[in-house]
Amino acid sequence: MARSPIRIGYCLSLTGPLAANGQTARLAHQVWQEDVNSRGGLLGRQVELVCIDDRADAASVPGIYESLLTEQKVDLLLGGYGNNSITPAMPLAIERGRFFVGLMGLGVNNTYKYDRFFAMIPTGPDPNAALTEGFFEAASRQTSQPATVAVLAADADFTKNPIAGARANAAKYGLEVVSETKYSLATTDFAGVLSEVESGNPDVLFLCSYLNDSVGLIRAIAESGMDAGLVGGAMIGPQSSTVQAQLGSLLNGIVNYEYWLPVPAMDFPGVSSLITTYQRRAAGTPADALGYYVAPFAYAQLQVVGQAIRETGGVDDEELADYTAAATFPTVVGDVKFGALGEWAAPRVLTVQFRDIQGNDVAEFGRPDARVVVSPASFASGDLVYPYRAASGPSAS
């Protein structure tokens, strides 16, 4: 008689403003599920993923996880994508003592300090600072070193941690934050907001935005006379093929963070095959066309869970957490070891600059040189073009 499957339950934002990233994670999870089940599953059992759409509504998340445990009766919980889907589930996971691996939540466990939580995000033990350290470090290396920073950010919970990290990094590298301006997520006309910031003539414009507002901000900057030396920082959006297709060459010169790119130093075992499979499957779906930002980490998230299940011989939450805290995990994003608060033991955030984008074809953004890695040095593929306007034309490389 066939053994019952191992059922893993979680939620993702498959609709709503974060749907592109949620759909990308879902597809990468399905690829992992098919890969594992084609090899006989885990412990001789097939794996079933029970994924519920939270519609990017954080208030719905606790109820979804309660239902997964009490009605769906899943064996294990998995964290969703980003703070919006992970943080609301934390109290229940803690109350029930569940092993909980989240995808790309920034500093989720800073407050909870839960010893069974693990984060599949390469921001390391100080995630707030790691996200933008390369941005400010690159600024500090310029011959005409910038001195002042203006922060422009969405008025939302998700921007608090990146802004705190940006302020710390600015101070570390000798820059002064001279203003902090917030805008509503309902904003559609960014010219007025940008004008307010521009009046201070900052050397660095640090942006912390979501997908739709990233598009509006970059368009407004391109149309403005702003002459800040460095623009970007902590934008969710430029990593997305949908945003890339909308903005095209307007992204040239923007400096932002990434977690993985197809550069030689990041050709980890299995990642090229995953990306090839993912991109073939993503064509014509709501998932991101390239998948560089989310797909490798979503796949690696379940590689961690799968290895823990195999090595402990079961689905006991305490045993899985104890094993994960001590083990090293070979994944498609390289070897992963967890440290304090379940974060990666060492950070590995890339700072990149968009360069030489000619048009709006997403295929352009698949070129390794479309996003030049300027930091850290161990993964660098080029130097920062400074100031921003010098790289903002389509042939500025």
Domain ranges of the chain: 6-122+267-342, 127-258+355-391
Q: What is the pLDDT of residues 146-174, one digit of tens each?
A: 999 999 999 987 888 899 999 999 999 99
pLDDT of residue 275: 98
- CATH of 6-122+267-342 among 3.40.50.300, 3.10.310.10, 3.40.50.2300, 3.40.30.10: 3.40.50.2300
pLDDT of residue 157: 78
CA distances, 40 to each of 11, 34, 45, 192 (Å):
25, 10, 7, 58
pLDDT of residue 18: 83
Q: Has residue 394 got a pLDDT over 60?
A: no
pLDDT bucket at 393, cuts 50 / 70 / 90: low
Q: What is the pLDDT of residues 47-63, one digit of tens each?
A: 999 999 999 999 999 99
Residue 228: partners with Cβ closer than 8 Å, 6 or more residues away: 150, 202, 203, 204, 205, 387, 388
Q: Do domains 6-122+267-342 and 127-258+355-391 have the same CATH topology?
A: yes
Q: What is the pLDDT of residues 267-310, one digit of tens each?
A: 999 999 999 999 999 999 999 999 999 999 999 999 999 999 99
Q: What percent of the chain has pLDDT over 70?
A: 98
Q: Has residue 397 got a pLDDT over 60?
A: no
Domain spanning 127-258+355-391: CATH superfamily = Response regulator (3.40.50.2300)
**Residue 50, burial from CB neighbour count under 10 angstroms (0-12, 13-18, 19+):** middle
Q: What is the pLDDT of residues 331-362, one digit of tens each?
A: 999 999 999 999 999 999 999 999 999 999 99
pLDDT of residue 395: 47
pLDDT of residue 1: 56
As beta bridge partners, residue 42 has 45
CA 391/CA 254 separation, integer angstroms: 8
pLDDT of residue 396: 44
Q: What is the pLDDT of residues 64-105, one digit of tens each?
A: 999 999 999 999 999 999 989 999 999 999 999 999 999 998
CA distances, 131 to each of 28, 167, 352 (Å):
23, 12, 12
pTM over 0.85: yes
pLDDT of residue 344: 98
CA 208/CA 321 separation, integer angstroms: 33
The per-residue pLDDT of the chain, averaged, comes to: 94
Q: What is the pLDDT of residues 174-214, one digit of tens each?
A: 999 999 999 998 899 999 999 889 888 999 999 999 888 99
